[in-house]
Chains A and B, each alone.
Chain A
Amino acid sequence: MPRDELQSGDPGRRSDYAAAFTAGLLDPDRAPPDAVSGPNGKAAVKRYAVYRNNVTVSLIDALAASFPATLRITGPDFFRAMARFHVRETPPTSPLLFEYGRDFADFIGRYEYARSMPWLADVARIERAWLDAYHAADAEPLASGALASIPAERLADTVLVPHPATRAIRSRYPAVTIFAANRSDGPVGRIEANGPEDALVTRPGLEVFVRHLPPGGAVFLDRLMAGEPLGAAAAAAFAERAEFDLSANIAGMLQAGAFIAAHQEE
């Protein structure tokens, strides 16, 4: 085919087919676009529905794969109905499916049928953080004893650099216990915990770990991750929780591989 002919398309019409085709992809009540048909004048209702179904089902499947504990808690029918609402309201904007679902926990928090499970959104937040940690950049964590070489009088000015996988999630509910019980394949016994639980998510090697942060730990970690030195972060944690245990928190976070470097504040 001659090149001239190939380039004769009217640029103004270029985007018509995609705009027309996508208009009803997430809306089951819309008729198929006029731009498509079956062969030999056949109808395209069921044919177009194949694409609509592929889009919706594959995105629900993507959420199910990213939020397995949430799925296990609610059961598949409840989860898929909830996910379908979310997919239609907030479809992905990135072609990377492991980026999808950043708004899912907030959606769960206002989903009226999930009101009897007020902790469900926090479990989903932990799962989203788990997936971020899974795909985060690899880095060698700071050794557990790394702070021992820093003179005591300089510790307060020490800044810890977080590992790319490190996340802190706060919950007013026992979200870590519920997450852990539903993330494995084993039977879920009666969950006795009822107090608030904050989560520390890390990935020092290839495996993602979710730990229960002690009181004040989440504030402390948030401040450290924001670049504040140890002294200021500890003060903020004490201010929120008088029982904050500084040395236990530092030891636990180092042991979890939450940081990759320590340096003195400039």
Chain B
Amino acid sequence: MNGLAPPSRVSKTSRFPAYPVADLAGISFKHEHLHAILGDDAKGGFFEVHAENYMGAGGPPHDALTKIRRDYPVSLHGVCMSIGGPRPLDKAHLGRFKALVDRYEPALVSEHLAWSTHDTTYYNDLLPLPYTPATVSRVADHIDEVQEVIGRPILLENPSTYVLFPESTMGETDFIRALVRRTDCGLLLDVNNVFVSATNHGYSALSYLADFPLDHVGEIHLAGHAEQEDDEGDLLLIDSHDGPVADAVWKLFDIVIGRCGPLPTLIEWDSDIPDWPVLKAEAAAAQAILDRHADSLFGKAHATG
């Protein structure tokens, strides 16, 4: 078990329905799709929002998220907590994050194994960290602090990276496994990030997945990437979130779900955002894979039961 069920005290004062999210495909919510979503009779799936976009006091963002949350389960995805940074967490930011968790009762809460603020500057990118016993300790303290403040476990997302730190003494999967052991956090497995990092660092995505603590995964991310070249002229993949999911990533996703069974699966599409039907079709493709594995699990249960 990965301990992802929200605490039961929430249900007593709930403002929203407790929709299940377990085997659903979802889509990153973009404000320009609000009318199409509200006017869509086929309600299904879930929406993920970037927490920071809802940290203003009021206005259309909160109005939209309230309307979405009434009809759908919502995943709250933090982008800039700097959990992977060396500095103490920003207490004001953590307080805003907690306020959103309390207000919108999200089905899933996640953050990144990365950092984006240093000294007083916010860099608006997911920056990498060295993997050492010292950074495990620091990052675990940050995860503990977040989980303590919000009163529930988070899902920590594996990053896309373009460089490595020669000072690293641990592999990424060992690092993540140590964090899970110390903090009891769950994991958000971004399959596109696995593919991007594996390509960029010259290792096999399948062996990464074989080492990954899949038992603790509570959500999957799928996204598109772009292609560039590194200094040696080799392929360098960029986690661009600006297009459809690549075939190789669909294939890895199928393998992961075959091993784990259905998991909440998000299509991330954050720039060059297409019309609503295009996103819906991408989510339907993910849902078909989830359903196929759900059916085969169901079949197996019958066969053995």
Seen from chain A, the residues whose Cβ lies within 8 Å of a Cβ on chain B are: 1, 3, 5-10, 13-19, 21-22, 25, 32, 35-40, 42-48, 50-51, 54-55, 58-59, 61-62, 91-98, 133-139, 164-165, 203, 206
Contact = CB atoms under 8 A, between A and B. Distances in A.
Contact of B202 (A6, A37, A40): A40
A98 B234 CA distance: 37
18 contacts: A6-B133, A6-B182, A14-B86, A21-B127, A37-B163, A38-B163, A38-B164, A42-B232, A44-B163, A46-B229, A50-B162, A51-B125, A51-B127, A55-B125, A93-B122, A95-B79, A96-B52, A164-B57
* Tier of interface size on chain B: 35 or more
Contacts of A3: 182
Interface in B227-251: 228-232, 234, 236, 238
Which of A17, A96, A203 is packed against the most chain B CB atoms within 10 Å? A17
A46 B228 contact: yes
B165 interface: yes
Residue among A9, A35, A93 with the most chain B CB within 10 A?
A9
Nearest to A93: B120
Contacts of A10: 134
A135 B57 contact: yes
Contact of B165 (A14, A17, A25, A45): A17
B230 A38 contact: yes
Interface stretch (B110-118, B209-217, B278-286): B110-118
Interface stretch (B58-66, B100-108, B293-301): B58-66
Interface stretch (B35-43, B135-143, B150-158): B135-143
Nearest to A95: B80
B237 to A, nearest CB: 10
B61 A135 contact: yes
B87 A15 contact: yes
A136 B52 contact: no
Contact of A22 (B93, B123, B271): B123
B90 interface: yes
Contacts of A16: 86
Contacts of B164: 36-39
A55 B60 CA distance: 27
B26 interface: no
A9 B138 CA distance: 9
B57 A137 contact: yes
A17 B203 CA distance: 24
A94 B93 CA distance: 9
Given A43-B232, A50-B236, A51-B125, A135 B59 contact: yes
Given A1-B133, A7-B137, 16 more contacts: A6-B137, A10-B134, A17-B129, A25-B123, A37-B163, A43-B231, A50-B228, A50-B238, A51-B127, A55-B124, A91-B122, A92-B122, A133-B59, A134-B59, A136-B57, A206-B63
